[in-house]
Chains A and B, each alone.
Chain A
Amino acid sequence: MATETTSKTDFSTDPNANKGMDFSTDAYLDMDLLRFLTCGSVDDGKSTLIGRLLYDSKSIFEDQLEAAESASLSRGDQRMDLALLTDGLRAEREQGITIDVAYRYFATPKRKFIIADCPGHTQYTRNMVTGASTANLALILIDARHGVIEQTRRHSFITSLLRIPHLVVCVNKMDLVDWSEETYDKIREEFEEFAARFEITDITFIPMSALTGDNVVNRSENMDWYQGTSLLHHLEHVHIAGDRDMIDPRFPVQWVVRPQGDEHHDYRGYGGQIASGVFQVGDEVVALPSGMESKIKSIDIGGDSQQMASPPMSVSIQLEDDIDISRGDMLCRPNNQPTSGQDIDAMVVWMAETPMKVGKKYTIRHTSNEARCIVKNLNYQLDIQTLHRIEEAQELKLNEIGRISIRTTKPLFFDPYRQCRVTGSFIIVDEQTNNTVGAAMIIGETN
């Protein structure tokens, strides 16, 4: 193992290098990004938790705080409602509910964080799925007084369905159960029991009180029986670099960069974002669907060349040979190719008021490709509470989840969603309204 370090990498390996919230310029330029999802309802203290993370990391400004304060007062509240900091739309403030996914940002000297803050109720499943699609980690809140409830199961299932690699179960409001280890253990056991049915590889449990701050940013003194880290410490240190697939090179071509002037007469770059795997100059590649092979001549970002590219970098790739490639095509390695096919099975979350009908035609967007498809079969609808398969289901309504078989008008180049979130996902678009009506995760070719 190479031991080469620079002053910048010193920072990322030494936890004491930059205590507190004092950033150095180098630290800023060397942070990585963690996208996480919070799911829960108003009652379980989610807004308080987010408010605390933002406030303790100095991500809330005084004028924003003052605005929330004066809004609380003018509504006649006794104390400032932290939810006002996160509820953005007028209807939400008036009704005291969260309708849509809200994105929040904060940073510590370790990492930069993007929070997708999702409403908790069943009717907002589609919002949670939206937030989950890009998350590295999910935070599920459990009220220690109530333990695992139906909503906890639903959120855990969606986390598993969307294959969010890391899950943190926050057992909140521990102050209201006398910081009881027994209560915490019971909730933990109950959660582990039902979560065993899901494919969630990394689960961390943290007992906390968002209200008092115990185990949010600092370790709790009220729960000396808890040996783990605080939530923020966990968020800062959870290992996410290994979540990306570096083995299977996939490059969906998005845009062909072709200068018109004489100066770059011979330049023909294929622009796109690396979906998975690593591409290096000199690599042998094959273009799909043509099957033509060539070698990578150059990789650049805006004209600055580099030796290699890995996900999720957006680059332009030039090939040695002049072969016909356009948007929707895919570059991969000759000995490592995705499945090419028109008959596909997928789990779908329905997101529109108008139900999904078997036999109906839709447009789908998959990587940089667009195709039409027909829904050939609804294999079953999944009862999100019991995980029971309803095989007699005829349609999928808003927020319902099921396994479908589709046939597309042209071959798609895909991998199972479990292997690659980018080449394994597609959205379904209604051709009359142009709305995005479904989110689909590919299982594989239809048997």
Chain B
Amino acid sequence: MTSATKKTGAHEHYRLTHLKALEAEAIHIMREVAAQFEKPALMFSGGKDSIVMVRLAQKAFRPAKFPFPLLHIDTGHNFPEALDFRDKMVDEIGERLIIHKVQDLIDRGDAVEDPGPFPSRNRAQIPTLLDAIEKYQFDALFGGARRDEEKARAKERIFSFRDDFGQWDPKNQRPELWNLYNGRSRMGENIRVFPISNWTEMDVWQYIMLEQIEIPDLYFSHKRDVVERRGQLVPIGDAPFGPRDGETVLNKTVRFRTVGDMSCTAATNSPASNLEEIVAEVAAARASERGARIDDKTNEAAMEDRKKEGYF
């Protein structure tokens, strides 16, 4: 930051912008995990938050390689664009990617897709993730979740402990003081670590802009086939993501504010085609980011319940 290092006063000289302060905190957390754990992994989905996490890992560990692999829980419901981006990026940064597929667990009978009018593989991610943890013996997983996303997350620690069943107990969290993180765990326990806990959606976008980080085109406005379903614009793709009976396919100019599964991510009407326009749009937005996640609308404590079961 050139403007921050210009000499304008005794302490102004060392002024740190909020983004640089958040970056410093995230780097510190990543290095703590690398030092305190044997087998960490970084959860990577191809979404903007996990892309920012990769950039932060580069800041923490370059010019060396990451001391952990990337892990993608592939639901089989991903946007093809997100998968293409994932593969291209992993190739460019030269890091190891482990892909663990929900479909494999479904085929084995170890996970089931949620039936009903809105088939979702959200819950099927939980056993898949736990299966990956067991197979690769991961003891710590980095996630890109933020506390501003949801009320239960607002109370979750940066080092979030899970028991043998991957469960989160909100009433039994370790105190977390200063920048001291206690990663001691017993066999079978593992932790989820959220280095960008203190970032907001706006911070993530600003950081992407500041660092000129490449993100999938899905985030920028484009023409896409959608249907209106329960008041939301749902993307239409190949089966099983085709239109339902009575639905009319519309070709609209949309973008995605958040990128999850095709089955549970709604598009927003938006002409924003570059980062500056997205930042302006986020600043003016009157609906939360998770409002575009159909899966959180089920009930008031939806996220809290999923986290208790082992969800991220």
Q: Which A positions have Cβ atoms within 8 angstroms of B?
A: 1-2, 4-6, 8-9, 23, 25, 28-33, 61-64, 67, 71, 86-91, 93, 99-105, 107, 111-112, 114, 126-127, 129-130, 133-134, 241-242, 244, 246, 254-255, 257-260, 263-264, 267, 271-273, 278, 301-303, 310, 312-314, 327, 351, 363, 365-366, 368, 421-422, 425-427, 429, 434-436, 439
B residues 273-293 near A (Cβ < 8 Å) are: 276, 279-280, 283, 285-288, 291
A103-B154, A439-B177 are known contacts. Are A6 and B6 too (CB-CB below 8 A)?
A: yes
**Residue B15 at the chain A interface, CB threshold 8 Å:** yes
Instruction: Determine whether the beta carbon of A32 is less than 8 Å from that of B15.
Output: yes
Q: Chain B residues with Cβ under 8 A from A67's Cβ?
A: 300
Tell me the nearest residue of chain B to A312, going by C-beta: B24
A388 to B178, CA, bound (A): 27
Q: Does B198 contact A (CB under 8 A)?
A: yes
Cα distance A93–B155 in the bound complex, in angstroms: 13
Of all chain B residues, the one with the shortest Cβ separation from A113 is: B18
A62–B64 Cα gap in the complex (Å)? 45
Give the distance in Å from the alpha carbon of A184 to the alpha carbon of B209 in the complex: 47
Given A25-B279, A130-B177, A273-B24: A32 and B16 interface contact (C-beta under 8 Å): yes
Shortest Cβ distance from B300 into chain A, in angstroms?
Answer: 6
Nearest first, the 4 closest Cβ-Cβ pairs linking A and B are: A302-B59, A88-B151, A314-B27, A33-B18
Instruction: Return 6 A-B CB contacts under 8 Å, by A number.
Output: A9-B3, A25-B280, A33-B18, A61-B291, A90-B301, A436-B182
Query: Are A241 and B283 neighbours in the complex by a CB distance under 8 Å?
Result: no
Q: What is the bound-complex CA distance between A105 and B4, given in angstroms?
A: 23
Given A103-B147, A264-B64, does the pair A244, B11 have CB atoms closer than 8 Å? yes
What is the bound-complex CA distance between A310 and B186, given in angstroms?
Answer: 36
Q: Tell me if B14 counts as interface (CB < 8 A to partner A).
A: yes
Residues of A within 8 Å of B132, CB to CB, are none
Give every chain B residue within 8 A of A278 (Cβ-Cβ).
14
Q: Does B223 touch A at the CB level, under 8 Å?
A: no
Q: Are A130 and B63 in contact (CB under 8 A)?
A: no
Contacts of B279 in A (CB 8 A): 25, 28
Name the residue on B nearest A301 (C-beta): B59
- Whether A9 pairs with B18 at a CB distance below 8 angstroms is no
Q: A29-B17, A422-B178 are in contact. Are A254 and B64 (CB under 8 A)?
A: no
B32 at the interface (CB under 8 A from A): yes
The segment from B43-51, B78-86, B122-130, B166-174 found at the interface with A is B166-174
Given A302-B60, A436-B175, A241 and B12 contact (CB-CB distance below 8 Å): yes
Given contacts A130-B177, A314-B28, contact A5 B8 (CB under 8 A): yes
Closest to A35 in B: B198
B-side interface size class? 35 or more
Beyond contacts A29-B209, A67-B300: 6 other A-B pairs, Cβ-Cβ < 8 A, are A89-B151, A112-B200, A273-B28, A303-B58, A312-B28, A314-B60
Q: Does B212 lie at the interface of the complex (its beta carbon under 8 Å from any beta carbon of A)?
A: no
Residues of A within 8 A of B15 (CB): 32, 241
A313 to B25, CA, bound (A): 8
- Shortest C-beta distance, B226 to chain A (Å), equals 19
A427 touches B180 (CB 8 A): yes
On chain A, the residues within 8 Å of B27 by CB distance are 271, 273, 301, 314
B300 touches A241 (CB 8 A): no
Which one, B65, B173, B210, contacts A100 given CB within 8 A? B173
- Chain A's closest residue to B200 (CB) is A105
CA of A99 to CA of B65, assembled, Å: 41
Residue of A nearest to B21 (CB): A33
* B288 close to A271 (CB less than 8 A): no
Decide: B202 and A28 in contact? CB cutoff 8 A. Answer: yes
B32 contact from A23, A246, A254, Cβ within 8 A: A254
Q: How far is the CA of A91 from the CA of B172 in the complex (A)?
A: 13
Question: A255: which B residues are within 8 A, CB to CB?
Answer: 31, 34-35, 60-61
Q: Is the CB of A302 within 8 A of B58?
A: yes
Closest to A74 in B: B300
Question: B4 — which chain A residues lie within 8 A by C-beta?
Answer: 30
A23 to B15, CA, bound (A): 20
B14 and A2 within 8 A (CB): no
In this complex, the member of B9, B59, B210 whose beta carbon has the largest number of chain A beta carbons within 10 angstroms is: B59
| A260 contacts B64, C-beta separation under 8 Å | yes
B197 touches A313 (CB 8 A): no
Known A-B contacts A133-B177, A302-B60; A29 and B206 likewise in contact (beta carbons under 8 Å)? yes
Task: Kindly list chain B residues whose C-beta atoms are within 8 Å of the C-beta of A302.
Answer: 58-62
* A260 touches which of B65, B148, B184 (Cβ 8 Å): B65
Contact B147 A61 (CB under 8 A): no
Decide: B24 and A271 in contact? CB cutoff 8 A: no
